[in-house]
Chains A and B, each alone.
Chain A
């Protein structure tokens, strides 16, 4: 369970306030969506939760299963079960995708005090997960995200998610830059991972992704706060009326 209480965040260098009191609880097994206009603070929330440098928390808390997330290094948050699917996955030349995936999995196991996975078991595991996402052997061999199409990069994010089996998955604008077919494939991958013990926070500007990943709860974020919460119908309202009307109603 992810619990965010009255979270205030500003950019460390400029002192610009981005989040101005976010309250959010994501229960186990639920899919929550956060929608909102550009600049509302959606991506900042994802970065602060996963521990990226450059943000200062001035007030409030964020915890996962009772553990204080804000006090942990990014790798510790990952080992505790937090996963961020990046809006712009980073290219890492010279490092094979397979090597990267195994390094990540073993690093998390080590941080949790577990044994490393054997090469044979890893190979079996990765082949099985990759197949479901239509990721071929070539994509596993190539350097991480280098020369990948937009769709391939996002599928590679979902592959990492499937492999690392996090408890809390944050998807940051996963639909950006994807055509309909690529989005369906990514959504199928996400849906296959839905389970009782795993929660999702899906950050998106458009409703279309939520046609494929059905949320339990939809939040609208504006100016650093969650201003409206509802069921899946709220996403449709955004689609039909746009953010301006909804925000005007709330004001």
Chain B
């Protein structure tokens, strides 16, 4: 019987992983949150290749007690967002490094390292830490996120009380070989407050990262990240967001390189008239590139707008996965949901697997979705070449044209230009190669 066998394998793999870890010390609230998270992991079991949402992405290397070997990126990666006026907080191999970080004291924002927060017996973080992650476990289980809640000791806890004076940037440097890291960040955007959070860098050979975000009524959260160019890095990242009335949430991710990336976003509208956009562009070259975007948006309030825009450029056997869901509950009338996932396959070896899902229980909604796979637009390519642009350069421009809709989701033009230049650099280095 297949089912008992899978169940046994899951529980064996989970036990093996948990036995290699120790629950961290901490204050009263953190001990409680971590213990509860560990219990969730034990109840669910870690991901198995035959789990419904792991059919297209093999979880073994993310689940195994020992992380696979992983070289760091050479030449050393130049810092994206380096020219933006920001507060830079640096993590080296997953550990917050205050000496290499800016002074976090800026207007409108309170920033504390997770380690310090978790040591306290009482802290507001208890209302958020692991709380949004636990809510996000149904109807689809995300055990790697619960594992992170239980065992992560590093991260930042951010409370946004007004309009943040400048963006906060989290730089994740990867300096040692074969690193295995868990980072858990919390962001609480209070009513009417506004923060831009930037993240960049690979962080580790194997990274587990959770970001829990609560945006209160009228608040705004903008998030832009690039995931680092290290070829052998593996990452499972989760964003859990809960959005209040008239709030705004926008998240964009650029992924180039990396052996395995699974980015999950779980977003819930709890207040009316809110907006959530989740977007991503990934560029993969080679059969050792596997990128997975898994998104779940729950409309549980009236007149909210959600957009999912995911673009993947794949070549030389690279694999891209998209699993995106819009769930509209019976109360969520006037929902405006949009979902597009597209791949540009630059050769016949590359692969795009897409599973768009809509589940709608309200009757007055507008939801649309589309998923396409295609080759480069010959018409556009000829247009550029007829103007004298050589084929390789024209192809790069057509790639940029393809991902443009996702890039347009970045609101700040300076940040968008920085991301675009990163993307152009990647294309340029691979031209004719």
Which A positions have Cβ atoms within 8 angstroms of B? 50-53, 73-75, 77-79, 83-84, 86, 89-95, 100, 103-105, 107-108, 111, 143, 160, 164
Contacts and interface: CB of A to CB of B under 8 A. Distances in A.
A64 B235 CA distance: 56
A83 B387 CA distance: 7
28 contacts: A51-B385, A51-B386, A52-B382, A53-B378, A74-B386, A75-B386, A75-B387, A75-B388, A78-B386, A78-B388, A90-B379, A91-B380, A92-B397, A92-B398, A93-B401, A93-B404, A93-B405, A94-B400, A94-B407, A95-B404, A100-B384, A100-B387, A104-B384, A104-B387, A107-B387, A107-B389, A108-B388, A111-B390
A52 to B, nearest CB: 5
A89 B405 CA distance: 20
B383 interface: yes
B402 to A, nearest CB: 8
B403 interface: yes
Given A78-B387, A104-B387, A53 B404 contact: no
Interface string B150-178: 00000000000000000000000000000
A100 B397 contact: yes
Interface of B: 377-380, 382-391, 393-394, 397-398, 400-405, 407-408
Nearest to A95: B397
Contacts of B401: 92-95, 143
A93 B403 CA distance: 9
A95 B403 CA distance: 11
Contacts, number: 84
A105 B400 CA distance: 19
B376 to A, nearest CB: 12
Contacts of A78: 385-388
Shortest 10 CB-CB distances between A and B: which pairs?
A94-B404, A108-B388, A78-B388, A104-B387, A74-B385, A93-B404, A90-B383, A107-B388, A94-B400, A107-B389
Q: Is the interface of B mostly helix, strand, loop or mixed?
A: helix
B386 A50 contact: yes
Residue of A74, A78, A105 ringed by the most chain B CB atoms within 10 A: A74
A143 B398 CA distance: 12
Nearest to A93: B404
Given A94-B401, A94-B403, A103 B380 contact: no
B423 to A, nearest CB: 10
Contacts of B390: 73, 75, 107, 111
Nearest to A105: B388
Nearest to A99: B397
Nearest to A78: B388
A242 B402 CA distance: 44
A103 to B, nearest CB: 6
Nearest to B402: A94
B407 A89 contact: no
Contact of B404 (A84, A89, A143): A143
A75 B389 contact: yes
A83 B408 CA distance: 32
A86 B389 CA distance: 16
Contacts of A164: 387-388
Given A95-B400, A100-B397, A90 B387 contact: no
Contacts of A86: 383, 386
B388 A73 contact: no
Contacts of A111: 388, 390
B400 A53 contact: no
Contact of B382 (A53, A79, A103, A108): A53
B59 to A, nearest CB: 34
B386 A103 contact: no
A103 B397 contact: yes
A93 B379 CA distance: 13
Given A90-B380, A107-B390, A75 B404 contact: no
